[in-house]
């Protein structure tokens, strides 16, 4: 019996040893193939025989914003425009998301811009301000249009712990339009009005006074305002003609435009969860369409008339 066990153990050891040797051989072969592939890839991408190329972006000699032309006839202007085209073309994941969100929200924004008498190119201002998301900046600006609390209140938005109408796309877009029209009346053109949205009306006026220049492209700005109009123009060109910049996005991949109905309410809502359920909606769906309602109730002691958005479907 002992001899048999000894013999059996020997056979088992030999079998396991053979399996281990085979596994080791396969592993070494795999490592060799991968290493060869990496070396070959490195050679192809770094050597003269590279089959992977990254190209610069051709920029137009003349661009426009809100019907106002800008000639790129100086090295400074060419380089600033080139930077924005390159950054937004080759930051592909972010730009694809912007194109998809533009398809979802631009129709709603455009209607308000037209109604307010503001050029529809200003939808691209919202695009660069927030990426068409209800974000909060480090300075406390909120919503698609990145409106500061003091500015929002000055232009009639309700902002408190219960309601923040900076998150109401319809109302905040109209506030942005009022500000832009005020800046347009001040400076005489939409390009400086857009710059004022970033730098402030007083900030733009100080630059004009100190430098004795009235054209955006001839004024020396700080880095953010310096890039502002050029970034808007670059994204305008990319979103309007994505395939020209290498983006192939099928219609099925776009985010669907927002479709909603509206109801008016002038009473408090004690429980938004119950209120939305009575409308045949989930709490989540209700809040997605009404992000300006911050809590699970609406105080409304003043009996103000609010407009509630309800998804059409």
The CA angle 167-173-175, to the nearest 5 degrees, is 95
pLDDT at 26: 54
Q: What is the pLDDT of residues 177-214, one digit of tens each?
A: 999 999 999 999 999 999 999 999 999 999 999 999 99
Q: What is the pLDDT of residues 264-288, one digit of tens each?
A: 999 999 999 999 999 999 999 999 9
Reduced to 3 states (helix: H, G, I; strand: E, B; else coil), residue 262 is strand
Residues 43 and 115 in one domain: no
Per-residue tokens: 58: 């051709």
Closest to 198 in 3D by CA, of 129, 133, 254: 129
- Residue ending a domain, among 53, 76, 93, is 53
Residues 37 and 92 in one domain: no
Please give the Cα distance from 276 to 98 (Å, whole number).
30
Residues 195 and 304 in one domain: no
Residues 164 and 217 in one domain: yes
Identify whether the C-beta of residue 237 lies closer than 8 Å to the C-beta of residue 84: no
In a domain, 58, yes or no: no
In a domain, 2, yes or no: yes
Please give the Cα distance from 89 to 234 (Å, whole number).
9
Residues 248 and 275 in one domain: no
Residues 249 and 101 in one domain: yes
pLDDT at 52: 75
Please give the Cα distance from 46 to 40 (Å, whole number).
10
In a domain, 165, yes or no: yes
Reduced to 3 states (helix: H, G, I; strand: E, B; else coil), residue 305 is coil
Per-residue tokens: 21: 């040797």
Residues 106 and 147 in one domain: yes
In a domain, 61, yes or no: no
Overall size of the chain counted in residues:
313
Residues 243 and 280 in one domain: no
Residues 138 and 269 in one domain: no
pLDDT at 4: 40
Predicted structure pTM score: 0.82
Which residues span the domain enclosing 307?
Answer: 260-311
In a domain, 90, yes or no: yes
Instruction: Look up tokens 């085979």; give the residue.
Output: 22
**CATH classification at residue 152:** 1.10.530.10
In a domain, 59, yes or no: no
In a domain, 300, yes or no: yes
Residues 105 and 187 in one domain: yes
Closest to 261 in 3D by CA, of 286, 298, 295: 286
Residues 74 and 177 in one domain: yes
Residues 229 and 283 in one domain: no
Per-residue tokens: 49: 């025989």
- Residue ending a domain, among 209, 235, 253, is 253
Pairing relation of β-strands 62-65 and 68-71?
antiparallel
pLDDT at 48: 59
Per-residue tokens: 277: 């359920």
Q: With a cut of 70, list the residues of the chain below it in pLDDT.
A: 1-50
Angle between helices 201-211 and 190-199 (to 10 degrees): 110
Domains identified in the chain, total number: 3
pLDDT at 203: 98
DSSP alpha helix (H) spans, the chain: 2-46, 75-90, 92-116, 123-130, 149-154, 169-187, 190-199, 201-211, 223-240, 272-278, 283-289
Q: Which residues pair with 52 in a beta bridge?
A: none
CA atoms within 13 A on the CB side of 255: 15
In a domain, 226, yes or no: yes
pLDDT at 46: 54
Q: Which residues of 216-253 are buried (b: 16+ CB within 10 A; e: fewer)?
A: bbebebeeebbbbbbbbbbbbbbbeebeebeeeeeeee
Identify whether the C-beta of residue 89 lies closer than 8 Å to the C-beta of residue 246: yes
Reduced to 3 states (helix: H, G, I; strand: E, B; else coil), residue 299 is coil
């Amino acid at each position: 019996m002992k001899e048999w066990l000894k013999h059996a153990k020997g056979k088992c050891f030999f079998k396991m040893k053979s399996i281990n040797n085979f596994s080791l051989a396969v592993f070494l072969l795999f490592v060799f193939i991968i290493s060869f592939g990496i070396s070959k890839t490195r050679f192809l991408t770094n050597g003269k025989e590279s089959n992977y190329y990254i190209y610069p972006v051709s920029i137009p000699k003349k661009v426009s914003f809100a019907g106002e032309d800008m000639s790129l006839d100086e090295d400074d202007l060419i380089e600033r425009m080139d930077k924005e085209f390159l950054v937004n073309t080759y930051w592909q994941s972010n730009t694809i998301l912007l194109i998809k969100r533009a398809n979802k929200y631009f129709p709603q924004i455009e209607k308000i811009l037209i109604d307010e008498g503001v050029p529809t190119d200003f939808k691209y201002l919202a695009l660069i301000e927030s990426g068409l998301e209800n974000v909060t900046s480090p300075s406390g600006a909120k919503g698609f249009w990145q409106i500061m609390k003091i500015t929002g209140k000055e232009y009639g938005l309700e902002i408190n712990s219960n309601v923040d109408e900076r998150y109401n796309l319809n109302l905040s877009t109209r506030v942005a339009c009022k500000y832009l029209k005020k800046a347009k009346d001040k400076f005489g053109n939409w390009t400086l009005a857009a710059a004022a949205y970033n730098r402030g009306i007083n900030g733009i006026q100080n630059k004009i006074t100190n430098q004795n220049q009235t054209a955006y492209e001839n004024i020396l700005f700080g880095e953010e305002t310096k890039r502002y109009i050029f970034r808007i123009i670059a994204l305008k060109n990319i979103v309007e003609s994505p395939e020209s910049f290498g983006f192939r996005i099928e219609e099925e991949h776009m985010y669907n435009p927002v479709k909603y109905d509206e109801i008016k309410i002038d009473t408090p809502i004690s429980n938004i969860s119950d209120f939305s359920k009575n409308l045949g909606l989930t709490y989540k769906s209700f809040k997605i369409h009404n992000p300006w309602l911050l809590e699970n109730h609406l105080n409304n002691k003043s009996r103000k008339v609010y407009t509630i958005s309800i998804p059409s479907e």
